Amino acid sequence: MKAILSTDFHFPGQVSRHVGTVRYVEFCEHLTGEPFHPASEADAAARIERNVNAFLKTRQHD
């Protein structure tokens, strides 16, 4: 994964939100080997709840 160099700092040693987002996207693409597709902002709370519940169902020990 290529390094991102930027002088866009808010505080010494802290990168901007934009640079951090770019790094996150590149990291996800590097891990999965696939392009990053951001989720729709439409009803994010319902999507998160659905995904958490689906995960928890896989972790239940009856």
- Condensed to tens digits (0 to 9), the pLDDT of residues 19-42 reads 788 888 999 899 999 998 888 778
Residues of the chain above pLDDT 90, percent = 29
- Which single residue is written with the structure tokens 């901007």? 16
Reported pTM = 0.43
What is the residue type of 30? H
As a whole number, mean pLDDT of residues 10-27 equals: 76
Position 6 scores a pLDDT of 47
- Which single residue is written with the structure tokens 């996207």? 25
For residue 51, what are its two tokens? 């995904």
Q: With cut-offs at 50, 70 and 90, classify the pLDDT of residue 55.
A: very high
Whether the pLDDT of residue 12 is over 50: the answer is yes
